[in-house]
Amino acid sequence: MTTRLDSLKTHSLVVADTGDLDAIKRYRPHDATTNPSLLLKAFDLPGYQALIDEELAAIKAEVADPEARLEQAVDRLAVAKGAEIARHIPGRISTEVAARLSFDEEASVRKAHELVERYDRRGVGRDRVLIKLASTWEGIRAAERLEREGIQCNLTLLFSEAQAQACFDAGVFLVSPFVGRVTDWYKKETGKEYAPDEDPGVLFVRGVCERAGRGGYGTVVMGASFRTVGQVLALAGCPRLTISPALLEELAAEEGEVTPAVTIPAAGERSAPLDEPAFRWGHNQDAMANDKLAEGIRRFDEDQRTLEARLAERLG
């Protein structure tokens, strides 16, 4: 009998939302992702210690300035971990530009170049890497420039129709509209529980898929930030789904066929491209999206700062 995970893989490309190499080997996703939050979770895993020690020893030997050491430490660990993961997946590894650069287009582009160069030195070409940027106006503009250079991007922390449309307009490779965080906001606001087909996060991601298909955009839609298996199954048929190890385990443990729940419409008429005022106004009109984008950037930055503090201790 087929497991739900194997059946789901026939409808959507599955991406591992983890830096845990053991989980990646176990569930055989197509792609994987790293970010400061996932690196922080992996920091204490026994299998990660040799890699940390190796990278920090190299930084100590090569870099004298303490501030430069710390900045390099996060990037080098992210790329070292990403390169290791890339050897165990057929697809791409997403690696995140620091959240503190979310409103700085030029710095985001520079950091993306640095990350791609680090991957290249480890034998992982840019065709295996996605640069992960927050879906701010500045992050989308940085992605547009990078895409023209052949550096493909994953736009994350996406909560509004305005963000999705601006990403489509910019021709980014992939967008990650969030499910669970959208639902969290509405549950807190309304006090209601939602069945999967009424779930605000699920409905939001289905809407992004429909917008992409209707406009004939080449951007890949990847549902992200799942809280339950029900949410995952309600988005079967979305081109990609990034799923945590806990939910991958549930799906792998259950037998049964998965039926597609997302229908991508045929291409029709495109919406007019958004300029900056229209983007900011459209995003501003969505209270949930405003709250969750700001909160997401803050949370990623907090995790990055915690990771930096842990690394500073190890660097001495």
pLDDT in tens, 251-305: 999 999 999 999 899 998 888 999 999 999 999 999 999 999 999 999 999 999 9
Judged against a pLDDT cut of 90, whether residue 201 lies above it is answered with yes
CB 157 within 8 A of CB 298: no
CB 101 within 8 A of CB 304: no
Tens-digit pLDDT profile for residues 217-246: 999 999 999 999 999 999 999 999 999 999
Number of domains in the chain: 1
Handedness of CA 19, 206, 201, 12 (dihedral sign): negative
Q: Domain with 216 in it: what CATH number?
A: 3.20.20.70
Residue 255's pLDDT is 95
Amino acid at 53: D
Q: Give the N- to C-terminal CA distance of the chain in Å, as an integer.
A: 53
Domain housing 288: 4-315
Quick one: what percent of the chain has pLDDT higher than 90?
A: 77
Average pLDDT over residues 126-133: 97
Q: Which of 81, 111, 132, 292 is catalytic?
A: 132
Average pLDDT over residues 133-159: 98
Tens-digit pLDDT profile for residues 55-102: 888 888 888 787 778 888 889 989 998 999 999 999 999 999 999 999
Which residue reads 């500073």 in tokens? Answer: 312
Whether 132 is catalytic is: yes
Q: State how far the Cα of 5 lies from the Cα of 12, in Å rounded to an integer.
A: 10
CA angle 159, 164, 166 (to 5 degrees): 125
Residue 224's pLDDT is 97
Strand partners, 255: 3
Distance of CA 280 to the CA centre of its chain: 22
CB 149 within 8 A of CB 200: no
Judged against a pLDDT cut of 90, whether residue 144 lies above it is answered with yes
